[in-house]
Structure 1
Amino acid sequence: MTDVFAPTTNSSEYAEQASTAYRAALSVIEQVEPRIADATRAELADQRASLKLIASENYASPAVLLTMGTWFSDKYAEGTVGHRFYAGCQNVDTVEALAAEHARELFGAEYAYAQPHSGIDANLVAFWSILAHRVETPTLADHGAKTVYDLSEQDWEKLRRAFGEQRALGMSLDAGGHLTHGFRPNISGKMFHQRSYGTDPETQLLDYDAVRAAAREFKPLVLIAGYSAYPRRVNFATMREIADEVGATLMVDMAHFAGLVAGKVFTGDEDPVPHAHLTTTTTHKSLRGPRGGLVLATKEYADSVDRGCPMVLGGPLSHMMAAKAVALAEARTAEFQTYAQNVADNAKALADGFLRRGAKLVTGGTDNHLVLLDVSGMGLTGRQAESALLDAGIVTNRNSVPSDPNGAWYTSGVRLGTPALTSRGFGTAEFDRVAELVVDVLTNTQPAATKSGAPGKAKYVLADGVADRTKAASGELLDKHPLYPGLEL
């Protein structure tokens, strides 16, 4: 069995070396806290035995995973390359510079910042960079050419008032946006006066004319593009036109589809980096790296982004930046481009499999890495569907659909993605079979009444025998495509 994570020239040797490394690591851990070693082995076993369809999850390579567990974890390194607040950071400088170099080359960005600990951190860095950049350029003339570090407390008081009046326009949560795109309970919804754009009520597709009209009326400082549950591509050239028309900064959050950008599946107007002032991403999900974030930006924003620490971030996680560098190096290969195209092809096969079996999909299909299944026609809530599928060994997550009557907790949808199983080597035929299994589970699930006899939004009944037969069928698929083949603990 070919290891999709290993260099093609030495896959068996790679697997043997990884096995040796992990056995040794777990043996060391076991001597201190054996329950952690046991839980680690159990997690690998569970992941190997499950159909993982969560669109925001993937499998990192052994090289990436091993990079996270080094003594770079022990370093404090506030500051930037060559300008640290701690001595002895020369090796951290090497790591951060390599991560930024790979990110710039991979995405064609003018500037890359590898310090964010997560996607939310990356977005916060971008937001504050936009605000600081607008101050320093200078939008507020009374501050002249001062930098953030030069401002007095009186200056900051004026800025706080100015910042409080700034506006952001982002995709609504139920239309597929992310909570960091202005969702009111999130910090992004508190930093800015916020308004959301949605999708066309009939097609459920992004309506650029409506976005333009909202931008003209609202006049935001920041126009946020990108999504976490929108199953279509976005024309970022058009989004930049809208931003320029109203004097807004275009910020794109590509956390979900960064792997498709890196793998050259999204090019031209569908590649956000040439069009956005700032582009943020996570490094896991479709990019298949460690959990963390990146900010890509044009040169004019570089100085502002570089102040992410101490403006928003604390000490950078040097071991995670090292793992980002390894993952980004992997993503610069021809093999990764093949993988990214397979992710998109498999999503199309999954969507077609659902549609042929009578399932309802938001927007009627997909042309990225995810599918959003509307289960309301099956008489289920998203929470019931998610739970029933989990009982049958299929891991998904419930998700809102546009104008969802069940809200963000129970939802009416289930989101499914192809990155993880594509990493295992699944192809279009296997994803058609996955669609068949999902539909079989859901059509054999019924909502259960509450104690009062009223229909419930959480309780459900899965017909006898369905979970067992689904797990057996899933096992046949999984056995053909083992996770980390050759890696034995």
Structure 2
Amino acid sequence: MTQPFDSAAVTAAYTNALDVIRSVEPRVAGAITQELADQRSSLKLIASENYASPAVLLTMGNWFSDKYAEGTVGHRFYAGCQNVDTIEALAAEHARELFGAPYAYVQPHSGIDANLVAFWSVLAARIEAPALVEAGVKNVNDLNEDDWTTLRRAFGDQRLLGMSLDVGGHLTHGFRPNISGKMFTHASYGTDPETGLIDYDAVRAKAKEFKPLILMAGYSAYPRKVNFATMREIADEVGATLIVDMAHFAGLVAGKVFTGDFNPVPFAHITTTTTHKSLRGPRGGAVLAQPEFAEFVDKGCPMVLGGPLSHVMAAKAVAFAEARTPQFQTYAHNVADNAVALAEGLSKRGGTLVTGGTENHLVLLDVSSFGITGRQAESALVDSGIVTNRNSVPQDPNGAWYTSGIRLGTPALTARGFGRDEFDRTAELIVDVLTATSPVAASSGGVSKAKYDLPSDVAAKTRAAAAEILDANPLYPGLTLN
């Protein structure tokens, strides 16, 4: 399911590149080679990871890495950026067309950078501009110290309402230790304690009570769709700006799995995303915005960002181009179908799923019914060749470190060609491992939340079964390295 490629050409490219690297620092070349081997030999179910195409990966290793290019297309603070202008304009054009957005900004280095650009753009548009006008200042550089004091006070006590981290939100949506939780006075909305689903009436009531400047939507561990039309209605009712972080499910938006009320781009004032995860591009971020915010987002550098990573922007252009193909739409629909198959496979074997299932690319499995913590489950599965990550479940008694759940995602293995049968078999392997795993006594007494016992024969049997499925669905087929 990965983008088709010429295996001989790609093999030659990587073989030659590794030879060059090996001549300088062989340990780095060895780690690169080992990483490919490790990824090929494990069932990768981390919802935020994927496999980029060789074209995307190769695009990042080029001379654009040597360029400083602060500023925007046609307006750089360094000379000699005409080629950077070309690739940034291409990446933005592909992003606009892919998502149907009027404006796209492709410089953010990551998802948190994209969110920071969005946050400061809202502050600038909603607060800074009126404050400057009131102060009679046309240029921010003309502000004296008294003006800055006034402006800082104007920024004070701005409010952000986002999804609670413990029910599937993200740390950049107001989590106190994160910069988002320090920039804003923060409140959160949760989910229905019985169903695990967003209660939009409760969100509306919270918004009316809290009156946020920003209403944040999006998630990192919520296995359902979000009605963004309703979220925009709530934002409008309280005068809030709606920001949607679609980092996790951008591929499902691009692939036309999420349409209508479930596509955030027409409803959000600003939409942020990463470019890897379900989009299958390079590690990076992007911001989509409605016209009234475009001029503010366009100042992400120097407002929040430093020099853009031009080589990564080039790879974003390639990835966005790939995502505009019919093959990517097929892939995205398969990701969602496979998540349902995985959820059904776990459920019919006794697994307890948060919300009872999934409507997107991820499944959240409560492992407490197996008598273990999320950390024990994560470790036992890694021992067995299955890579997941532990994750909190709503009202988690084990907290965010040990957790009571694991998060499972289907984008990566779908890219390898897995279908419903393979994901059902994967669910069987997961349940077999978790059933065989048991906690052990803690040195301080009681039962450990981290240490566990997994019979070695179960781990070995699972690794062998995983290898059989993986061998039938090779990663980068035809790519061979010495």
Provide the alpha-carbon RMSD of the alignment: 1.2
Q: Matches of 2:2 and 2:450 in 1, distance apart? A: 38
Question: Does the residue aligned with 1:228 lie in a helix, a strand or coil?
Answer: coil
Q: Conserved in 2, the CA contact under 8 Å of 1:240 and 1:250? A: yes
1:438 correspondence with 2:420: no
Give TM-score, length-normalised by structure 2: 0.98
Counterpart of 1:129 in structure 2 is: 121
Match of 2:247 among 248, 255, 262: 255
Structural mapping, 1:287-366, within 5 Å: 287-366=279-358
Q: 1:453 deviation in Å? A: 3.2
Q: Matches of 1:153 and 1:306 in 2, distance apart? A: 26
Runs of at least 5 residues in structure 1 that lack an aligned partner in the other structure = none
Compared with structure 1, are the counterparts of its residues 49 and 269 closer, same or farther at alpha carbon in structure 2 (3 Å cutoff)? Answer: same
Q: Conserved in 1, the CA contact under 8 Å of 2:331 and 2:415? A: yes
Runs of at least 5 residues in structure 2 that lack an aligned partner in the other structure = none
Match of 2:169 among 177, 180, 187: 177
Q: 1:143 deviation in Å? A: 3.8
Q: 1:309 deviation in Å? A: 0.5
Deviation readout 1:46-93 (Å, 9 max, x if unpaired): 000000000000000000000000010000000000000000000000
Compared with structure 1, are the counterparts of its residues 141 and 210 closer, same or farther at alpha carbon in structure 2 (3 Å cutoff)? Answer: farther
Match of 1:53 among 34, 39, 45: 45
Structural mapping, 1:396-407, within 5 Å: 396-407=388-399
Q: Matches of 1:238 and 1:455 in 2, distance apart? A: 45
Q: Matches of 1:27 and 1:33 in 2, distance apart? A: 10
Counterpart of 1:448 in structure 2 is: 440
How many residue pairs get aligned? The number is: 481
Structural mapping, 1:232-243, within 5 Å: 232-243=224-235
Q: Conserved in 2, the CA contact under 8 Å of 1:360 and 1:373? A: yes
Q: Matches of 2:132 and 2:200 in 1, distance apart? A: 31
Q: Conserved in 2, the CA contact under 8 Å of 1:168 and 1:194? A: yes
Match of 2:154 among 162, 169, 181: 162
Counterpart of 1:119 in structure 2 is: 111
Compared with structure 1, are the counterparts of its residues 172 and 148 closer, same or farther at alpha carbon in structure 2 (3 Å cutoff)? Answer: farther
1:97 correspondence with 2:89: yes
Q: 1:145 deviation in Å? A: 7.4
Deviation readout 1:303-350 (Å, 9 max, x if unpaired): 100111011000000000000000000000000000000000000000
Compared with structure 1, are the counterparts of its residues 266 and 149 closer, same or farther at alpha carbon in structure 2 (3 Å cutoff)? Answer: farther
Question: Does the residue aligned with 2:244 lie in a helix, a strand or coil?
Answer: strand
Question: Does the residue aligned with 2:177 lie in a helix, a strand or coil?
Answer: coil
Match of 1:80 among 38, 49, 72: 72
Match of 2:464 among 472, 478, 483: 472
Question: Does the residue aligned with 2:286 lie in a helix, a strand or coil?
Answer: strand
Q: Conserved in 2, the CA contact under 8 Å of 1:163 and 1:191? A: no
Q: Matches of 1:485 and 1:257 in 2, distance apart? A: 26
The AA in structure 2 aligned to 1:5 is: T
1:267 correspondence with 2:274: no
Q: Matches of 1:157 and 1:408 in 2, distance apart? A: 38
Of 219-228 and 135-144, deviating more is: 135-144
The AA in structure 2 aligned to 1:386 is: E
Q: Matches of 1:144 and 1:199 in 2, distance apart? A: 45
Q: Conserved in 2, the CA contact under 8 Å of 1:346 and 1:422? A: yes
Compared with structure 1, are the counterparts of its residues 111 and 148 closer, same or farther at alpha carbon in structure 2 (3 Å cutoff)? Answer: farther
Q: 1:6 deviation in Å? A: 3.5
Q: Conserved in 2, the CA contact under 8 Å of 1:136 and 1:146? A: no
Q: 1:158 deviation in Å? A: 1.6
Q: Conserved in 1, the CA contact under 8 Å of 2:167 and 2:222? A: yes
Q: Conserved in 2, the CA contact under 8 Å of 1:287 and 1:331? A: yes
Compared with structure 1, are the counterparts of its residues 461 and 54 closer, same or farther at alpha carbon in structure 2 (3 Å cutoff)? Answer: same
Match of 2:384 among 381, 386, 392: 392
Deviation readout 1:435-467 (Å, 9 max, x if unpaired): 000000000000111123311110100023110
Deviation readout 1:160-211 (Å, 9 max, x if unpaired): 1122210000001011000000000000000000001110010010010010
Question: Does the residue aligned with 1:484 lie in a helix, a strand or coil?
Answer: coil
Of 152-161 and 211-220, deviating more is: 152-161
Question: Does the residue aligned with 1:276 lie in a helix, a strand or coil?
Answer: coil
Match of 1:375 among 351, 356, 367: 367
The AA in structure 2 aligned to 1:185 is: P
Give TM-score, length-normalised by structure 1: 0.97
Match of 1:189 among 181, 189, 213: 181
Q: Conserved in 1, the CA contact under 8 Å of 2:127 and 2:154? A: no
Q: Conserved in 2, the CA contact under 8 Å of 1:389 and 1:441? A: yes
Percent of pairs with identical residues:
77
Compared with structure 1, are the counterparts of its residues 438 and 241 closer, same or farther at alpha carbon in structure 2 (3 Å cutoff)? Answer: same
